[in-house]
Amino acid sequence: MKPQDELPEVSAPLPWQAQDWSHLNQQLAAGKLPHALLLVGNQYTGKTRLAMALSRLLLCHQSANGLNCGHCHACQLSASGSHGDFRWLQPEEKSRVIKIDQVRSVVEFTNKTASLGQRKVVVLAPADSMNVNAANALLKSLEEPAADTYLLLVCHRLHSLPATIRSRCQIQKLAVPDAQQCLAWLDQATLDRGRSEQLLALADGRPLLAQQLFAEDAADALTRLRLALRGLLTGQVSVPEAGALFAAASVEEFLAHLAAEIQGLLRRSRGPQLSSRQGRAAFVLLDEILRLQRAVSAGANPNRQLMVDALLTKFERELGDGQLGDNIQVLKGGIQA
Ligand SMILES: [Zn+2]
């Protein structure tokens, strides 16, 4: 979700965000909404949608029922992405990082008077894609925000953000999406509860990913990738075979698939399994993947082939033939669908 995307008249939060949304509204009504707000939550759960809904609410001149009105001049401008008091900062095309020049121009923007005479809003998403220099350039704005200016930072890896940034923001950890609400929401697209359940399981409970899999008809391809990883653990698939299946995936996608598979294994494991040698190895490998993800999002460019081979080999050797997790029925159901 970006300002340049086509926006509806009213930007509402998603069903599972109702509690977070009402908390933000209460803060706003009480004049206590922090000027530097850090929204943290899992990927594909709608954090940027929430940030967009809050931005448009802050800019709206006639907000009603806790949402932007959709009709005032400010809402028309924010819907078309041309509101002069609104900036949305994200990595520029082909870049993985928010650069210092982008942050400097936003700092300059926050120091000017609002052109429509109300509030100014800046969204940084994902905030952890700022490099160190960019983060440093932002510190002063976070510390001494200009009047009626709101900085909304969005990220899913809180500890990838420098402590200097974290400590200057009020952190709101967004609720984990409720499965029943996710399913009801997915049903609107799939018109099939069984299909919604398969998609949500395949997406590890992340509703926007499930929706994307449905929209792109990509569930079967993803199921094959995830089954290949499971095949590695049971000796049915070799490392080169699994690597070949990931040939079309970017480094980020590969890391995300592998991390999701390990997280799924851990989630389905019981207490004693988690503290077993394999359980501990799973956490160690997950840490390594998270470090790589951070390095890649900060601009590192590892040798893809070497990295894929090394990680798949470790995954097979450390977690293979093990007792971690015990539930692959949903995936099997997914591939038959
Ligand atoms: Zn409005």
User: Which tens digit of pLDDT belongs to each residue from 73-113?
Assistant: 999 999 998 999 999 999 888 788 899 999 999 999 998 88
Residue 259 pLDDT > 60, yes or no? yes
pLDDT of residue 330: 37
Average pLDDT taken over every residue of the chain: 89
CA of 175 to the centre of ligand 1 (A): 27
Q: 97: CA distance to ligand 1 center in Å?
A: 32
* Gap from CA of 77 to ligand 1 centroid (Å): 9
Residues 6+ apart with CB under 8 A from 310: none
Q: What is the pLDDT of residue 93?
A: 80
In this prediction, residue 327 carries a pLDDT of: 40
Q: Give 31 Cα–ligand 1 centroid separation in angstroms.
A: 19
What percent of the chain stands above pLDDT 90? 61
Report the separation in Å between the CA atom of 50 and the middle of ligand 1, taken as the mean of its atom positions.
17
**pLDDT (tens digit, 9 = 90+) per residue, 110-159?**
988 888 878 999 999 999 889 889 999 999 889 888 889 999 999 998 88
Instruction: Count other Cβ atoms within 10 Å, centred on residue 15.
Output: 15
Residue whose token pair is 């290949």: 228
Residue-level pLDDT at 10: 96
- From the CA of 225, how far away is ligand 1's center (Å)? 45
pLDDT digits (tens, 9 = 90+) for 175-188: 999 999 999 999 99
Q: Show Cβ contacts of residue 284 under 8 Å, excluding neighbours closer than 6 positions.
A: 318
- From the CA of 238, how far away is ligand 1's center (Å)? 57
Please name the residue that has the structure tokens 């960019």. 134
pLDDT at position 334: 38
Closest by alpha carbon to 240, among 315, 309, 304? Answer: 309
| pLDDT class of 322 with cuts at 50, 70, 90 | low
Residue with token string 């995830």: 226
pLDDT higher for 80 or 330? 80
Q: From ligand 1's centre to the CA of 255, what distance in Å?
A: 41
CA–centroid distance, residue 279 to ligand 1 (Å): 52
Contact 57, 63 (CB under 8 A): yes
From ligand 1's centre to the CA of 17, what distance in Å?
21
Query: How far apart are the CA of 20 and the centre of ligand 1, in A?
Result: 21
pLDDT of residue 29: 94
| pLDDT of amino acid 267 | 81
Residue 335 has pLDDT above 50, yes or no: no
* Interval between CA 61 and ligand 1 midpoint (Å): 5
Distance from the alpha carbon of residue 195 to the mean position of ligand 1, in angstroms? 37
Please say if the pLDDT value at position 53 is more than 80.
yes
Q: Calculate what percentage of the chain has a pLDDT beyond 70.
A: 93
Give the Å distance between the CA of 54 and the centre of ligand 1: 12
Give me 276's structure tokens.
């077993």
Q: What is the mean pLDDT of residues 35-62?
A: 96
* Higher-pLDDT residue of 273, 225: 225
The neighbourhood of ligand 1, an ion, using CB within 5 A, equals 60, 68-69, 72, 75
Local confidence band at 2 (pLDDT 50, 70, 90 cut-offs)? low
CA angle, 152 as apex, 134 and 167 as ends, to 5°? 65
Cβ atoms of residues 209 and 259 within 8 Å: no
149 CA from centroid of ligand 1 (Å): 18
Per-residue pLDDT, 5: 64
pLDDT in tens, 204-230: 899 999 999 999 888 888 888 888 898
Q: 26 C-alpha to center of ligand 1: Å?
A: 19
Confidence of residue 299 (pLDDT cuts 50, 70, 90): confident
Q: Give the pTM.
A: 0.81
Cα-to-centroid distance, 141 and ligand 1 (Å): 26
Predicted pLDDT of residue 159: 86
Residue 69 Cα to ligand 1 middle (Å): 4
Q: Quick check: 262 pLDDT over 60? A: yes
pLDDT: which is higher, 266 or 328: 266
Q: Does position 70 have pLDDT exceeding 60, yes or no? A: yes
